[in-house]
Structure 1
Amino acid sequence: MLIGIDPRTTPELISTLARMGHGDEIVIADRNYPATWSAAGCIEPDVIQYPGHDALEVADLITQLMPLDNFHSHSALRMQIDDQPDTLSEAHKAVWDLLRPRLPEGGILESIERQAFYQRAGGSFAVVQCSEDRPFGCFILRKGVIF
């Protein structure tokens, strides 16, 4: 048992976040995402499961413990809706609203086309799959540094 850590945070997530270094990326995948396929190419090949939690809850748990990056073209990426790259879904809006105040100075929220998302996610550090029902509710968070 640990003090000061949200009790919904699993040992697998804590271990993964602790092992990640600056610039490593972690995927938050909705329930439709091919998480096992994607995780096979990751440093952590086992999907971290978060059933009963949506993308917002998982993003909150991760960013309570992990700083976001500001040394790259993005701090976080959202999966674009097919043929609607500028449209934000309800899941996108909710997660962006959570992340904005947690961004370091110079941090950037961006989007990425769905197929490019799959390719990038397959080379991430880990995949966390949640029960997000809203389509395209997938995100990639890039780990920053602590000053």
Structure 2
Amino acid sequence: MLKGIPPIISPDLIKILMEMGHGDEIVLADGNFPAASHSSRLINAHGHGVSEFLSAILEFFPLDTYVTFPVLLMDTVEGDERNPAIWKNYEDIFKKMSDFPVKIEKLERTDFYERSKSAYAIIATSERAQYANIILKKGVL
């Protein structure tokens, strides 16, 4: 155990987060996301939700201030709920934990999948909410 590290953050995940450099991206994936086929650096985080990881990671992970959108969401598909409740949850977490107003971009589903393939790593959660997938771009201290 280490002081100040949320217990949800595994040794493998802290290693990944520390290896990441400025501009690298990490995906927090919901339970429906094809995480294993989209990354060679996969963190198995089953049993937890995306919001739990977002809150824990933001305790020490700087978001990129040199880009317009340091956070990306998978946009909804026509016919589905336009503003999933989990997005409001994310906004509340960013307001609470970020030192600056966080701008969020929405990517079309297939674009999000393609972008995820180039992410540094993917955290595969058991999140059941639809459209809970989120990408964070690492900043500098």
Q: TM-score, normalised by structure 2?
A: 0.92
Contact 2:95 2:101 in 1 (8 A): no
AA in 1 matched with 2:19? R
Percent identity of the aligned residues? 34
Q: Which residue of 1 aligns with 2:26?
A: 26
Tell me which of 96, 105, 115 is aligned to 1:110: 105
How many residue pairs were aligned? 141
Runs of 4+ in 1 over 4 A off after TM superposition: none
1:105-145 deviation line (CA, Å, top 9, x unaligned): 36422211111000001001000011110111100001111
AA in 1 matched with 2:69? H
Identify which range, 46-55 or 26-35, moves more after superposition: 46-55
Q: Which residue of 2 aligns with 1:134?
A: 129
Q: TM-score, normalised by structure 1?
A: 0.88
Contact 2:86 2:132 in 1 (8 A): yes
| Structure 2 Cα separation of the partners of residues 130 and 77 of structure 1 | 17
Q: Which residue of 2 aligns with 1:125?
A: 120
AA in 2 matched with 1:93? K
Contact 2:30 2:128 in 1 (8 A): yes
Question: Shift in Å at residue 73 of structure 1?
Answer: 2.5
CA 109–5 in structure 1, closer or farther in 2 if over 3 Å, else same: same
Q: Per the alignment, in what secondary structure is the counterpart of residue 81 of structure 1?
A: coil
1:69-91 deviation line (CA, Å, top 9, x unaligned): 11112111111111279922112
Q: Per the alignment, in what secondary structure is the counterpart of residue 64 of structure 1?
A: coil
Q: Which residue of 2 aligns with 1:83?
A: 78
| Structure 1 Cα separation of the partners of residues 73 and 109 of structure 2 | 9
* Residue segments in structure 1 that go unaligned for 5+ positions in a row: 40-44
Q: Which residue of 2 aligns with 1:15?
A: 15
Question: Shift in Å at residue 94 of structure 1?
Answer: 0.8
* Residue segments in structure 2 that go unaligned for 5+ positions in a row: none
| Structure 2 Cα separation of the partners of residues 102 and 85 of structure 1 | 29
What CA RMSD, in Å, does the superposition of the two structures yield over aligned residues?
1.8
| Structure 2 Cα separation of the partners of residues 106 and 54 of structure 1 | 24
| Structure 1 Cα separation of the partners of residues 45 and 31 of structure 2 | 10
CA 110–104 in structure 1, closer or farther in 2 if over 3 Å, else same: farther
Question: Shift in Å at residue 5 of structure 1?
Answer: 1.0
